[in-house]
Amino acid sequence: MPWFRMHSESTVRHLALLGGFRRSGRWAVPEHLVVVAAVGGADVDLAGSVLPPLVTVTKVSLVGGTRLTVPAGVPVEVHGFSVFGRVDDSAAPRDVPAGAPRILVRSYGLAGGLRVVRAADGVDVPGGPAPTTDDRPV
């Protein structure tokens, strides 16, 4: 049973019980995105998506990390903890355009962390911009 998608009008929940899941490409991101991964990781790519003015991402995992790719120039505020892992947004945007959407991330985990990576500026490839990362481990 890999993953389920449950949603209401402004909230979408992804549940991965065993194994992970990936969400990428062009999609309309809801105001509230909940990612629950019991055993396995999650890869959520918002770089090629349509964002509302404020997105709240809540990530809960028992075992497994999550990679969140965000568009260049979009400010991200990260809160949370991981008992055995790291919650990291080490790639802050250089210039934030006026009126840019904002992303608020709440990350909670037991074994596995969260890594926020920023898509490359101006790169346009199918499925969204290509992600770039820094050298700091999660």
In terms of Cα–Cα distance, which of 52, 65, 61 is closest to 103?
52
- pLDDT recorded at residue 105: 95
Q: What is the pTM of this model?
A: 0.76
Bin 47: left if φ > 0, else alpha if -120 < ψ < 50, else beta: alpha
In tens digits, what is the pLDDT along the chain, a chain of 138 residues?
344 455 556 788 777 788 888 999 999 999 999 999 888 889 999 999 999 999 999 999 999 889 999 998 899 999 998 888 887 766 566 677 778 899 999 999 998 889 999 887 544 333 333 333 333 343
Residue type, 70: V
Report d(CA 41, CA 36) in Å as an integer: 9
